[in-house]
Amino acid sequence: MASEDVSMTNTEDIDDFEAKSRSFVAWLQRHGTVIELADLRRHGAGRGVLAKEDIAEDEELFAVPRSSILTISTSNLPAEVKTQLDEPWLGLIAAMVYEYQRSSESMWEPYFAVLPVDFDTPMFWSDDELNQLRGSALVDKIGKPTADRTFREQVIPMIRQHATAFHVDGMSDDDLVSLCHRMGSTIMAYAFDLEKPSTTDSHDQEDGWEEDEEESESMSKGMIPLADMLNADANRNNAKLYYEEDKVVMKSIRAIKAAEEIFNDYGPLPTADVLRRYGYVTSNYAQYDVVEVSLQLIKDVAKEHMKMSDEDLEHRTRYLDDEEVLDDCYDISRSCNEDTKPFSDELCILLSALALPAIEFENLQRKRKLPRPALEPSSAGLLSAVLHKRQGLYKGTTNQDNGVRGDADPISDVTTEPRGAHRRKMAQQVIQGEQLVLVEALALLKEMSAPTGGKRKAAEADTGHAGKKQKS
C-alpha cells in the first residue's frame, strides 16, 4: 500500500482513506502480489494501482472470481425483484442500492467503502456550472431529467413495493432518487460490460469499459472490485481485462516498471465524454475530440448561404434520407485522429447534395445515385460557413482569427481546489478542445481551397484515411 510520502489535507482524511483502502485490500484476499493500491489524490486521481516490481508483458496482475463481481445475478436481491427490472443498467442500480443498504450483511461492504459518494460528472453540476459548457453537445447528453423520471417511474415504485427487502423507512422519494443517481454514476465510471467467457481474449472490445453506448446498454453489467481501481490513460494503457470461465484476469499488455501506474483505457472517447462519464478531463483524450454539427444547423446555413428554398432543402434531404445516408448530426474530428476523417463521407455527401446546382441534383436523383463523398469548392464553402456558425454557439466570444481563447487554466490538485473552480477549469478544457477542432477544420478547408495545390490537398483530405473505420 502506498504510503507515507503522500501529502494530504488533514489527519482524519489520512486515517479514513488509508483505512478503507487497507480493509478493501484485506477483503480482496486474492489480490495479486505484483501490484498495490495507491493513494493518488495528490494527482487528483483518487486511488490507483501501481506495479510493486518490474512486470513482463502478458503477465497476470490479479484475478477476480466471477462470484465476487457485483451483478444483478450475484447480488442477494430477492428473486422476484431480479426479474422485475429487465434493463441491465437499472437492474444493477437496484442490486447496488440493495447491497449498499445491507451494510455489514453484504459481502461487498468493504468494496462500497472505497467507491465514490460524490461526483464531478456534469450530472451533478449547477445550472451556472453547466453554462460554462454551453456550445458543447455534451450538455444535451447528460440526461438528468430522463434519469430522474426513470428512477421515479420504474426503480422507486419497485423499491417501495419490496419495502421489506430494501430499507426505505424515513426515506423520501428525493432521497431514493439521490441514491439511485449515486449508484448510476458509480456504474457509469466503474462498471464493466461483462463479456461471456470465450476461448479468445477480449481484443474485440476496446477495454472493459465499453465505449459504444448503444451496445453497452444491452450488455450485462458488473462491478469488478480492484479491476475498477485502475485509472485510465489513452497513451499509457498497459493492462487489459480478460474474461475466463470462472474469473476475470487483469494482465499486462506491455512491460511495466516497478512503481509505474497501471492503466486501463476508455477507448477513443472525446474529452467531453470523459468528463460526462468519468468526471475528469485529461489532455490524453484530446486526440479524440469532436464537434457535433446538427443537421438542422447545416440546413439553416445552407438556406442562407446557398439561397435555397425550404422546399428544395426538404426535397434534397428527404432523398438522402430515403437512400439512408442522412444523420441527425455529424462529427467533425481532429486531423491527428488516425481512426477517422475530419469530415465524414456522410457529411461530404450531404454538403455536396445541398451545394449541387439543381439540374445536377435532379440528374443524380433520376439515376438513384449519390454525390461523391468529396468536398468540391462549393461544398467546402458551405462547410466553412457551417463551421463559422458553429463556432458562434460556444459561450463567450470566440476569437475568429484563431478560434481559441488561450490555454485553459491548469487543473490542480482536486483535494485543495474549490469544487466550483475545478469544474470551471474542466469546462474550459472541454470547450477549448472543441474550439481547436473547429480551428483545425477551418484551416484544412482553407488549405484545400488555396489556389496552389488546392486540388491535391482536397484529394488528400478526402482519402487521407481511406480504409479506416468511420465513427458514425
The cell numbers describing 123, all together, are: 450530472
- How long is the chain? 472
Asked if 233 interacts with ligand SAM (CB under 6 A), we say: yes
Inter-CA distances, 163 with 54, 77, 80, Å:
51, 12, 13
Nearer of residues 280 and 330 to ligand SAM, judged by Cβ: 280
Query: For residue 78, what are the contacts with CB-CB under 8 A and spacing of at least 6?
Result: 162, 165
Query: Could you say which residues in the range 130-189 bind ligand SAM, by CB under 6 A?
Result: 189
Count residues binding ligand SAM (CB under 6 A): 16
What is the Cα–Cα distance from 334 to 79, expressed in whole angstroms? 49
Which string of b and e fits 330-348 if b means at least 16 CB within 10 Å?
A: bbbbbeebeebbbbbebbb
Nearer of residues 99 and 233 to ligand SAM, judged by Cβ: 233
Query: Could you say which residues in the range 189-208 bind ligand SAM, by CB under 6 A?
Result: 189-190
Q: Cβ of residue 261: shortest distance to ligand SAM, in angstroms?
A: 8
Q: Please choose, out of 38-46, 122-130, 327-335, 459-467, the segment that lies near ligand SAM by the rule CB under 6 A.
A: 38-46
Asked if 238 interacts with ligand SAM (CB under 6 A), we say: no
Q: Please choose, out of 43-51, 143-151, 401-409, 454-462, the segment that lies near ligand SAM by the rule CB under 6 A.
A: 43-51
Residue 235 CA, chain-centre distance (Å), reads: 16
Q: Cβ of residue 173: shortest distance to ligand SAM, in angstroms?
A: 27
Nearer of residues 279 and 371 to ligand SAM, judged by Cβ: 279
Summary count for the chain: helices (H), strands (E)? 18, 11
Nearer of residues 1 and 56 to ligand SAM, judged by Cβ: 1
Query: Could you say which residues in the range 418-457 bind ligand SAM, by CB under 6 A?
Result: none
- Hey, what amino acid is at 120? D
Asked if 112 interacts with ligand SAM (CB under 6 A), we say: no
Q: Cβ of residue 16: shortest distance to ligand SAM, in angstroms?
A: 14
Q: Cβ of residue 18: shortest distance to ligand SAM, in angstroms?
A: 13
* β-strand partners of 242: 249
Inter-CA distances, 95 with 78, 119, 389, Å:
10, 20, 46
- 296 in Cβ contact with 310 (< 8 Å): no
- 123 in Cβ contact with 185 (< 8 Å): yes
- 52 in Cβ contact with 36 (< 8 Å): yes
* Cα–Cα nearest to 235, from 260, 203, 263, 276: 263
Nearer of residues 357 and 410 to ligand SAM, judged by Cβ: 410
* β-strand partners of 264: 232
Q: Cβ of residue 9: shortest distance to ligand SAM, in angstroms?
A: 16
Q: Please choose, out of 22-30, 151-159, 279-287, 313-321, the segment that lies near ligand SAM by the rule CB under 6 A.
A: 279-287
Per-residue binding string, ligand SAM, 333-372, x by CB under 6 A, is ----------------------------------------
Nearer of residues 49 and 375 to ligand SAM, judged by Cβ: 49
Phi/psi at 193 (nearest 5 deg)?
A: -85, 115
Q: Please choose, out of 223-231, 311-319, 363-371, 444-452, the segment that lies near ligand SAM by the rule CB under 6 A.
A: 223-231
Q: Cβ of residue 287: shortest distance to ligand SAM, in angstroms?
A: 15
3-state secondary structure at position 225: coil
Nearer of residues 37 and 81 to ligand SAM, judged by Cβ: 37
Q: Please choose, out of 94-102, 161-169, 272-280, 438-446, the segment that lies near ligand SAM by the rule CB under 6 A.
A: 272-280
Tell me the CB-side half-sphere exposure of residue 458, using CA atoms within 13 A: 20
Residue with cell 478560434: 403
What is the Cα–Cα distance from 457 to 463, expressed in whole angstroms? 10
Q: Cβ of residue 17: shortest distance to ligand SAM, in angstroms?
A: 10
Per-residue binding string, ligand SAM, 45-74, x by CB under 6 A, is xxxx--------------------------
Q: Which of 24, 125, 278, 394 binds ligand SAM (CB under 6 A)?
A: 278
Asked if 229 interacts with ligand SAM (CB under 6 A), we say: yes
Residue with cell 484475478: 63
Asked if 280 interacts with ligand SAM (CB under 6 A), we say: yes
What is the Cα–Cα distance from 120 to 6, expressed in whole angstroms? 23
DSSP 378-421: HHHHHHHHHHHHHHTTSSS---TTTS--SPPPPP--TTTS-HHH
Q: Which of 279, 371, 373, 433 binds ligand SAM (CB under 6 A)?
A: 279
Chain positions contacting ligand SAM, by CB under 6 A: 44-48, 189-190, 228-229, 231-233, 278-280, 282
